[in-house]
């Protein structure tokens, strides 16, 4: 499972990512965390990023893309990962597409946590006041002033990603103002629903492919027409198999608002296209023989 968590600073991405890590046995890749570690360790990357981070600006693309590319190659990322805080701009998203393509990896979904910005500011003000009261150290960029700047940066540079991933049928939107538990449940539900649809479609498509192959094999080799006809039947069955998956898609449609619908239907359509292509391949092979 490969996911992106999208949402403004303070929307709970880190908290939800942690929960997904345990649920799906994948790792969390937070560019913010990695950069903070680099700053603390005073590595060359950390030294370059330090001042930009403190002011709430964005670290240059080549640095964050390099960090992510290296991290994805590590063995512990093989089972999947959640990107938290990356990509943050459309050029970063395009770079990620290129990276994943080169590494032959597929992105499963982008989960957007939608929140109310003024509530976020209130939350951070309360948290910072409480931390100061307790004499605890407040993160340098975790103040209402810096948050205001980071929110503006999110709106201008990161929010266009919602459209970017929605167009690519990857976006799932969740109400991030619910309790932590409720948000986790909702994310779980959407992701399981996508998994269920894809698993069902591929199972049915596999069965249809086998039927098509059997039918084609049973046909006398000299009678190409008959073989084609039998295989065609198999191809029809593929269509049926895909339809069987519809109720699962409907379930997602019912519960998930907006773009999530597109995503679920999109994955079904892709799976159907894949299955049909596989069946056609078998048909062609047999017809040739």
What is the rounded CA–CA span in Å between residue 194 and residue 267? 8
Bridge partners (DSSP) of residue 28 are 82
Bridge partners (DSSP) of residue 217 are none
Q: Confirm or reject binding of residue 88 to ligand AMP (CB under 6 A).
A: yes
What is the rounded CA–CA span in Å between residue 72 and residue 275? 29
What would the x/- binding string for ligand AMP be over residues 134 to 153, using CB under 6 A?
-------x--------x---
Q: Choose, by CB under 6 A, the member of 8, 12, 56, 176 that binds ligand AMP.
A: 56
* Helix locations, the chain, DSSP H: 13-24, 31-40, 44-55, 61-72, 90-102, 117-133, 144-153, 160-167, 180-218, 224-244, 246-255, 259-288
The response to whether 134 counts as a known ligand-binding position is yes
- Tell the smallest beta-carbon distance from residue 60 to ligand AMP (Å): 7
Q: Choose, by CB under 6 A, the member of 11, 28, 31, 173 that binds ligand AMP.
A: 31
Q: How many residues bind ligand AMP (CB under 6 A)?
A: 17
The response to whether 50 counts as a known ligand-binding position is no
Q: Choose, by CB under 6 A, the member of 7, 8, 12, 32 that binds ligand AMP.
A: 32
List the catalytic residues: 13, 88, 127, 139, 150
Q: Considering only CA atoms, which of 198, 219, 191 is closest in space to residue 275? A: 198
What is the rounded CA–CA span in Å between residue 209 and residue 60? 48
Residue number of the CB atom closest to ligand AMP: 32
Per CB under 6 A, residues contacting ligand AMP are 9, 31-32, 35, 52-53, 56-59, 64, 85-86, 88, 92, 141, 150
Q: Which residues are annotated as a binding site for ATP?
A: 10-15, 134, 178
């Amino acid at each position: 499972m490969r996911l992106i968590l999208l949402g403004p600073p303070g929307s709970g991405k880190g908290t939800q990512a942690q929960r997904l890590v345990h649920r799906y046995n994948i790792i969390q890749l937070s560019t913010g965390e990695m950069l903070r570690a680099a700053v603390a360790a005073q590595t060359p990357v950390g030294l370059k990023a330090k001042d930009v981070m403190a002011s709430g600006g964005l670290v240059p693309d080549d640095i964050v893309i390099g960090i992510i590319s290296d991290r994805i190659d590590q063995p512990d990322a093989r089972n999947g990962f959640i990107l938290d805080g990356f990509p943050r701009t459309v050029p970063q998203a395009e770079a990620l597409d290129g990276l994943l393509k080169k590494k032959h990896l597929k992105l499963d979904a982008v989960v957007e946590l939608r929140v109310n910005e003024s509530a976020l500011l209130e939350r951070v003000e309360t948290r910072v006041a409480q931390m100061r009261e307790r004499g605890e150290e407040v993160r340098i960029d975790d103040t209402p002033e810096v948050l205001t700047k980071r929110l503006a940066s999110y709106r201008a540079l990161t929010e266009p990603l919602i459209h970017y991933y929605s167009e690519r049928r990857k976006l799932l939107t969740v109400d991030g103002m619910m309790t932590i538990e409720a948000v986790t449940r909702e994310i779980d539900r959407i992701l399981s629903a996508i998994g269920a649809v894809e698993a069902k479609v591929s199972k049915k498509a596999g069965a249809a492919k086998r039927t098509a192959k059997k039918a084609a094999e049973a046909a006398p080799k000299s009678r190409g027409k008959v073989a084609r006809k039998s295989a065609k039947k198999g191809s029809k069955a593929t269509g049926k198999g895909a339809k069987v998956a519809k109720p699962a898609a409907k379930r997602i449609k019912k519960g998930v608002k907006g773009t999530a619908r597109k995503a679920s239907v999109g994955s079904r359509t892709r799976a159907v296209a894949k299955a049909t292509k596989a069946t056609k391949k078998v048909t062609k092979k047999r017809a040739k023989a």
